[in-house]
Structure 1
Amino acid sequence: MNWTRTRPIPAEFIRGALELETTSRGILPHRLPARARAQADGDTQLLMAESQPSGVRIVFRTDATELELDTVRTRIMYRGAPARPDGVIELLVNGDLVDSSATNGGNATVVDMSTGSASSNEGPVCTSSFVNLPAGMKDVEIWLPHNEVTELAELRSNAGVEAPTADVPRAWVHHGSSISHGSNATRPTAIWPAVAARAGDVGLTNLGFGGSALLDPFTARTIRDTPADFISVKIGINLVNLDLMRRRAFGPAVHGFLDTIRDGHPDTPLLVVSPIFCGIHEDTPGPGAFDMEALAAGEMRFCATGNPAETSSGKLSLRVIRDELEKIVAQRATTDAHLHYLDGLALYGEADAVVRPLPDALHPDTETHRLMGERFANLVFAAGGLLS
């Protein structure tokens, strides 16, 4: 094969990442810039989450009919727990999903939750091959795995590649928890923000960080400094399941987070989204924990360990957070005409939980991600929607 080799992959080909790090094997997309990462105080959860390229895609034009992409994944696994499925790389041509490829090889870190110890090993490069693409010049998007740290080594094609067209969709910056990150979805275009972005014809920058939507000031500054036509922040579940703060601290922290965003986006449509329904934390505060009985049976499930009575002394539950967020947005909206509130129960509510229960009691499955994304697009991006 007479391949055109693209190494390193140009920055103008990559969308959804805020920074690209050069590594020994290629480039590593980051969803938080170095300054923010440096202020994370070595939080391994956040650093892992932001380097998983949820919503990141390689975008270019080509008349190639065959493509190959070399990547190196890094996976976290837990001893005794079921292995997570392989990541998926998806190929879109002119906006249509035409092919996908499971990842393999790469690096693995195995964590023993009973001792806290971890072991690591390095593996080979993964080559994802895509053949029989339509002839002629076309727009190509390669969506990277949303749940695996992924280094980009080389792109090969049987014809030349060029930068994408200058016609860039309206930019949507979204921040949220592991649910926004895409936990339990099986494909990168199936996570609910990706579903919503494609339905709403907007360009997604996904700052959904598993376990890490914690009102961190450096995240607010990142949003402040990122170009955006629309901004949404989904707040709540991580504050509860980490038992991070009390009601007294929560309100001022939300105000400060929104104030920082407004420093850079004074008039940009800004949507505050409260948590979706999660039965274990509706009335029961955190901390959340692994359900060890389920884990012993080979299932990954979560549970809440707090006491519902503690909400009276200031602990946070999801109901408390929804009430507080609605009040905060109503107060600020008197002087901010571009600030809006969306009740997360409109995306996934108690009635939905009966029909489509959360498989691990915390995260939606792929079908529920689709439902949430479609509902969000209709409520937010459709004509007459909150951010239309």
Structure 2
Amino acid sequence: MITTPLTDSLLHGALDLERTGDGVVPHRLPAAARAQFPDLQLGMAEAEPSGVRLAFRTAATTVELDVSPTRRAYAGAPPRPAGVYDLLVDGHLTAQASATGGTTVTIDMSTGATTTTTEPAGTLRFTGLPAGDKDVEIWLPHNERTALVALRTDAPASPVAGNRRVWLHHGSSISQGSNATSPAATWPAVAAARAGVALINIGLSGNALLDPFTARALRDTPADLISIKIGINLVNHDLMRLRAFTPAVHGFLDTIREGHPQTPLLVISPLLCPIHEDTPGPGAFDQAALSTGQVRFVATGDPAETRAGKLTLRVIRAELARIVTQRAASDPALHYVDGLDLYGEGDPELPDALHPDTATHRLIGERFADRALRCKLPAHSYR
């Protein structure tokens, strides 16, 4: 077996690589952004490598990858499934595996306290790959932090030239891939494959909150097309009122435009989420469902408070449409995408009242690729 160094040229979709004692940790926010808000939930979300993949060309029929995962668990909630590594050959899903060992962080949602257990790194082994030269991608789990320790193959592996247009996306846990069964099954991964583009996914579970450091990360990342999906986290955190929301959206867009003055920029409003359509946040776990071993979410706000400026998904959709219409008069590369066109009335119910399942991720990804992504991509190739 030949060991290939884990260099930047092999890893796609990350904004930063941190070399630690455990291995190479891909990050989806740069170090400067991470330093500005060292929050536990944000730190876990951005280090869960949704959309990040090892990509190389090889004639190997056996591939081994040593990894040390970090998993989240919630006290009193059912165990989360282990993260899945998807191996693709020439763009086709060929094998899947999960890692043993690593670290488990158990969070008590009522107090914020955490406990940690650690085991040695594990080895993923993929055998029986097709003979001959081929492009191999290993998509890292979208729902657990991964430290990459070593890559081994039974034939030389070399970096794959980046010749696809780059789609840079930011959104919530739905964009990160919550409830999808594997990383290549998240809706952004489905859309990217369908449109033939290279994905950089800055979907941050619980943290699509119009943070200035996220806007700067998007500003500073080369891309052919950018999309931002705004709304659900602002509501379920009950983070701001309409008075703050409107200038925050303008500021977020202004920052992106500093680095991408003419790049197609799609503003995606929230998907249908019945619990928050007309009821503000904060959102919470449904305790009655938890008592039966199910994870579901509820909205705890008062619909009457929308008159005082509390945000609901219906309020956010109307305001985003207005903002984009206003700005598009002088920014023809800015476009509005109604989230209800991607997932709306008549589509399958959300299993936990908040996140789509794998089949619905595919539905959303295919719709986005066909109705927005492919038709807004510029004809030229960035890289």
Task: Tell me which interval the TM-score lies in, with the shorter structure as reference length.
Answer: over 0.9
1:6 counterpart residue number? 4
Q: 35, 39, 44: which is aligned to 2:36?
A: 39
Which deviates more from structure 2 when the two are superposed, residues 91-100 or residues 327-336? Answer: 91-100
How far is 1:109 from its partner?
Answer: 1.1
Distance 2:236 2:367 in 1: 25
User: Does the 8 Å CA contact 2:71/2:82 hold for their aligned counterparts?
Assistant: no
How far is 1:86 from its partner?
Answer: 1.0
Alignment RMSD (CA, Å): 0.9
User: Which aligned pairs between 1:254-333 and structure 2 lie closer than 5 A?
Assistant: 254-333=249-328
User: Which aligned pairs between 1:145-156 and structure 2 lie closer than 5 A?
Assistant: 145-156=141-152
Aligned partner letter, 2:94: V
Does structure 1 residue 22 correspond to structure 2 residue 22?
no
Q: Per-residue CA shift, 1:183-217, capped at 9, x if unaligned?
A: 00000000000000000001000000000000000
2:356 counterpart residue number? 364
Distance 1:182 1:132 in 2: 29
Distance 1:102 1:362 in 2: 26
How far is 1:297 from its partner?
Answer: 1.3
Distance 1:346 1:102 in 2: 34
1:172 counterpart residue number? 167
Distance 1:178 1:280 in 2: 16
Aligned partner letter, 1:370: R
Q: Per-residue CA shift, 1:283-326, capped at 9, x if unaligned?
A: 00000111111111111111000000100110000000000000
2:84 counterpart residue number? 88
Q: 98, 101, 105: which is aligned to 2:101?
A: 105
Instruction: Identify if the C-alpha distance between structure 1 residues 106 and 330 changes in structure 2 by more than 3 Å, giving closer, same or farther.
Output: same
User: Which aligned pairs between 1:61-140 and structure 2 lie closer than 5 A?
Assistant: 61-140=57-136
Aligned partner letter, 2:184: T
Distance 1:300 1:180 in 2: 19
Does structure 1 residue 374 correspond to structure 2 residue 372?
no
Superposition TM-score, scaled by structure 2 size: 0.97
- SS of the equivalent of 2:193 reads helix
Report % sequence identity. Answer: 62
Q: Per-residue CA shift, 1:196-249, capped at 9, x if unaligned?
A: 000000100000000000000000000000000000000000000000000011
1:162 counterpart residue number? 158
2:56 counterpart residue number? 60
User: Which aligned pairs between 1:215-230 and structure 2 lie closer than 5 A?
Assistant: 215-230=210-225
How far is 1:114 from its partner?
Answer: 3.7
Superposition TM-score, scaled by structure 1 size: 0.96
Gaps of 5+ in 1: none
2:381 counterpart residue number? none
User: Does the 8 Å CA contact 2:224/2:377 hold for their aligned counterparts?
Assistant: no
Distance 1:387 1:349 in 2: 24
1:198 counterpart residue number? 193
Aligned partner letter, 2:147: E
Aligned partner letter, 1:375: R
- SS of the equivalent of 2:79 reads coil
- SS of the equivalent of 2:271 reads coil
Distance 1:365 1:68 in 2: 30
Gaps of 5+ in 2: 379-383
Distance 2:129 2:346 in 1: 42
- SS of the equivalent of 1:86 reads coil
Distance 1:54 1:39 in 2: 22
